[in-house]
A and B are shown apart, each in its own frame.
Chain A
Amino acid sequence: MDAIDGAALLLSARLAAVTTLVLLVLGTPLAWWLARRRTLARAVVSSLVSLPLVLPPTVLGFYLLVLLGPQGTVGRLVDALGGPRLVFSFPGLVVGSCVFSLPFVVTPLRDAFAALGSRPLEAAATLRARPLDRFVSVVVPLTRPAFLTAAMLGFAHTVGEFGVVLMLGGNIPGRTRTASLAVFEAVERMDYDRAHATSLVLLGFAFCVLLAAHLLGGGPSAAPRDRGVRP
């Protein structure tokens, strides 16, 4: 068992957990906003959110490196505010992963909110529920499968990313070397045993996530697009 790169797997799990949490907090209001009637602004934001789906991860990683680096706009701003260094560090990986996995969390939520429609919200409003109360006590329970799907996809996709973490993290053992990087590293060194063992863990994990998603009935595109949601 010592063939498995435990530190890398643990780092991947930690990164994925933090990223998923951040994305659920930020992605839910974004998805809620996107689920309403289509406007030009929403079309633009929707495209931006989906960009990581079609962009080569190395391109995304490169831009993030430029932006978040010590000379980058965001990097300098964060530095001036006393924030952590965002390249070759765990916080940097979290930021990169959030951008990369954003569509996987936002899309299922947006589709579920849209499919829910405005009627349950109207019913709740006539029963004295205020907007936030309505969201918590009606929308969230009725779209729970979509939240599970979003969390699982966000987590699994973050575990599987390669290009962005390589560019942004720099593959530092114990600090920014995630499981997918460890596999690449092992293959480079012709250490196929290690590559096999780590890969097998990732393969089993990925399969279990998808199986769970299907068993819970909230598969990746289970929610059809329907009427817009008015809060």
Chain B
Amino acid sequence: MSAHDVARDGARASAGEARAPLADGTAASGGEPAQAPFVQAAFRLARGGFSLDASFVLDGRGACALFGPSGAGKTTLLRCLAGLEPDARGRLVVDGETWHDDAPSRRVFRPPWMRPVGYVFQDAQLFAHLDVRGNLRFGERRVPRSDRRVRFDDVVGWFGLDALLARRVGSLSGGERQRVAIGRALLTSPRLLLMDEPLSALDVEARARILPRLAALPRHFGIPVLYVSHALSEVARLCDALVWLDAGRVRAAGGLDALLPDVGAATDDEGLSVSLHGCRVARHHPGDELSELSLDGAALFVRALDLAPGTTVELLVHARDVSVALAAGERSSILNELPARLVSVHEARGGVVLRLQTVGGRLLLARITKRSLRQLELRPGVELLARVKSVSVAGGASPELV
């Protein structure tokens, strides 16, 4: 997920339509793809004091976040896609098929059970009268055999459900419940997987265990994901695109790299971070109690890892842990310095967020003060050094401070 932001930069939402590419790096140089987007959605729904009026499009690959504060209408919009809001007005076209259209001349409403989507509820909603196997099979049994592309054994193995199959759902932990719920939805072989904050009810440890699976899910099963979240750190790890929803309206939509600085600056989220996939464990330095990782040829040091050299890990870098310097040479206790180019500067409360691009083309965010910005005379395009004070290795329970 590197270069698509260059082409997608201008894809920021104006008033109505917003575009969120689910794919990474599809169109490298200008021009919209010729074929129609995988999902075209436009919904309006008024209920009580809340009104939803949102439209967006999705490309049918990877994971897209439906991001916004609570009460923004994320869940309602997701329910509209699944057909669980029959009162909603609007239009939904998925893969060329119209599922919902309330134009008087061509009224269409495809009921939820006829829409090939998987839906993962925030609270799992497992059936208490069935065991884990019964829950997993519930949807699969109702899908014609010829349409079943996701295999039962694959799901069970992927989510580590082997030992749970005969268990009653009442005895499952929160993390186990969500794994079963996701597996159950996947086994309907959906063309689109909708997830409504599936991790919000889990503790930190359960979340850390399930996240890597979620991150790899779209690719492994070949199913695009629309993921509701209000946690930016989760979005940064799981998604390559996002639709930013606020008070029932789409505020912006587009590639993650392009939108993350603005969203992070505006929401003042402590979790503003980027995820660096594909770091390789290069070697260990037992004397310093450090492990050396290699990222696009640059070296990064983290607290000693119990992983064999050659293993690939994912790093999480918080914007607040990144500072910038104009030149090397200054002696410092910070070990990790990555050469980078400043792409843009985004106003935030109490400072600015810098969008940096590393030599390897990766996104890095730095949160610095306005005073530093002025004193360093930073302008887009300037080459600098990103100093990373701390990184955490994703999947590990606690941050590996250096």
Interchain CB contact under 8 A, A128 and B188: yes
Q: B117 at interface (Cβ–Cβ under 8 A)?
A: yes
Of the listed stretches A23-31, A115-123, A163-171, name the one at the interface; the rest are far from the partner chain. A115-123
If A123-B125, A142-B128 touch, whether A128 touches B84 (CB-CB below 8 Å) is no
Q: A80 at interface (Cβ–Cβ under 8 A)?
A: no
Tell me the minimal C-beta distance from B278 to chain A in angstroms: 34
Interchain CB contact under 8 A, A127 and B188: yes
Q: What 0/1 pattern do residues 123 to 145 of A give for CB contact below 8 A with B?
A: 11111111001000110011010
Interchain CB contact under 8 A, B111 and A125: yes
Tell me the minimal C-beta distance from A130 to chain B in angstroms: 5
Q: B121 at interface (Cβ–Cβ under 8 A)?
A: yes
Q: B129 at interface (Cβ–Cβ under 8 A)?
A: yes
Selected contact of B139 from candidates A127, A130, A141, CB within 8 Å: A127
If A128-B113, A128-B142 touch, whether A123 touches B129 (CB-CB below 8 Å) is no
Interchain CB contact under 8 A, B184 and A127: yes
In angstroms, Cα B129 to Cα A120, docked, is 11
Interchain CB contact under 8 A, A138 and B127: yes
If A119-B125, A142-B128 touch, whether A126 touches B118 (CB-CB below 8 Å) is yes
Interchain CB contact under 8 A, B111 and A127: no
Q: B138 at interface (Cβ–Cβ under 8 A)?
A: yes
Q: B368 at interface (Cβ–Cβ under 8 A)?
A: no
Interchain CB contact under 8 A, B82 and A126: yes
User: Which residues does chain B contribute within 8 Å of A124, judged by CB atoms?
Assistant: 127, 138
In angstroms, Cα B139 to Cα A133, docked, is 12
Q: B119 at interface (Cβ–Cβ under 8 A)?
A: yes
Tell me the minimal C-beta distance from B85 to chain A in angstroms: 10
User: Which residues does chain B contribute within 8 Å of A141, judged by CB atoms?
Assistant: 127, 129
- In A16-57, the 8 Å CB interface with B consists of none
Interchain CB contact under 8 A, A126 and B119: yes
Tell me the minimal C-beta distance from A204 to chain B in angstroms: 33
Interchain CB contact under 8 A, B143 and A128: yes
Interchain CB contact under 8 A, A120 and B127: yes
User: Which residues does chain B contribute within 8 Å of A119, judged by CB atoms?
Assistant: 121, 125
Count A-side interface residues using an 8 Å CB cutoff: 17
Interchain CB contact under 8 A, A125 and B112: yes
In angstroms, Cα B179 to Cα A165, docked, is 57
Tell me the minimal C-beta distance from A97 to chain B in angstroms: 32
Interchain CB contact under 8 A, A125 and B121: no
If A119-B121, A124-B138 touch, whether A129 touches B113 (CB-CB below 8 Å) is yes
Q: B185 at interface (Cβ–Cβ under 8 A)?
A: yes
In angstroms, Cα B114 to Cα A130, docked, is 9
In angstroms, Cα B142 to Cα A124, docked, is 10
Interchain CB contact under 8 A, B127 and A122: no
Interchain CB contact under 8 A, A122 and B112: yes
- In A87-119, the 8 Å CB interface with B consists of 119
Interchain CB contact under 8 A, B121 and A123: yes
Tell me the minimal C-beta distance from B131 to chain A in angstroms: 12
Interchain CB contact under 8 A, A127 and B138: yes
User: Which residues does chain A contribute within 8 Å of B138, judged by CB atoms?
Assistant: 124, 127, 129, 137
User: Which residues does chain A contribute within 8 Å of B82, judged by CB atoms?
Assistant: 126
In angstroms, Cα B111 to Cα A124, docked, is 12
Interchain CB contact under 8 A, A126 and B185: yes
Tell me the minimal C-beta distance from A225 to chain B in angstroms: 20
User: Which residues does chain B contribute within 8 Å of A126, judged by CB atoms?
Assistant: 82, 84, 112-113, 115, 117-119, 139, 185
In angstroms, Cα B113 to Cα A137, docked, is 14
Interchain CB contact under 8 A, B139 and A122: no
- In B181-213, the 8 Å CB interface with A consists of 184-185, 188
User: Which of B82, B84, B115, B117 is packed against the most chain A CB atoms within 10 Å?
Assistant: B84
User: Which residues does chain A contribute within 8 Å of B119, judged by CB atoms?
Assistant: 123, 126
In angstroms, Cα B184 to Cα A129, docked, is 13
User: Which residues does chain B contribute within 8 Å of A123, judged by CB atoms?
Assistant: 119, 121, 125, 127
Interchain CB contact under 8 A, B129 and A127: no
User: Which residues does chain A contribute within 8 Å of B139, judged by CB atoms?
Assistant: 126-128
In angstroms, Cα B114 to Cα A146, docked, is 30
Selected contact of A125 from candidates B84, B118, B127, B129, CB within 8 Å: B84
22 A-B residue pairs with Cβ-Cβ distance under 8 Å, sorted by A, are A120-B125, A122-B112, A122-B121, A123-B119, A124-B138, A125-B111, A125-B112, A126-B82, A126-B84, A126-B117, A126-B185, A127-B113, A127-B184, A127-B185, A127-B188, A128-B114, A128-B188, A129-B113, A129-B142, A130-B113, A138-B129, A144-B129
**Considering the complex of A and B, which 9 residue pairs feature the smallest CB-CB distances, nearest first?**
A127-B139, A126-B119, A128-B142, A123-B125, A141-B129, A125-B112, A125-B113, A128-B113, A127-B138
